[in-house]
Amino acid sequence: MRGRDEAILAFADGFTLSFAKRLAEFSIAQKIPTISGWASFAQRGNLMSYGPVVDECYRRLAIYVDKIHKGATPADLPVELPTKVELVINLKTAKALGITIPQGCYCAPTR
């Protein structure tokens, strides 16, 4: 017999992001928290995200494009990992799921 699912992990990619709002509606209706790696998932109603700051990744990508445009060989450029990560919690969704966020937790307004 299969038990009840306790959480949903949504992969951070453009295809899944296109369904983020529907996924949030489903997870709230089923009382199942959803987490992903991009802040835009939480901003679209899912419980939380933890992952790289996507805007910062785009900035770093632009630097790479500029280096290649100026003649650098892509194979000679180092691989970089994200250096800025963020945790985003959707407080409205947390409340709908009956999850209490500690008062000491800093929650910045969404963009």
- Helices and strands (DSSP H and E) totals, the chain: 5, 4
- Determine the pLDDT at residue 26: 94
Residue appearing with tokens 């709908």:
96
| 36 within domain boundaries | yes
Residue 107 predicted with pLDDT over 70: no
| 57 within domain boundaries | no
DSSP state of 50: E
- Determine the pLDDT at residue 105: 66
- Determine the pLDDT at residue 106: 60
CA atoms of 107 and 98, how far apart (whole Å): 17
Tally of structural domains, the chain:
1
| 92 within domain boundaries | yes
| 17 within domain boundaries | yes
Over residues 53-59, mean pLDDT: 92
Distances (CA, A) of 11 to 78, 85, 87: 26, 16, 15
Q: Can you list the positions of beta strands (E) in the chain?
A: 8-10, 34-36, 48-52, 85-89
- Determine the pLDDT at residue 28: 95
| 2 within domain boundaries | no
Over residues 55-75, mean pLDDT: 94
| 25 within domain boundaries | yes
| 18 within domain boundaries | yes
| 61 within domain boundaries | no
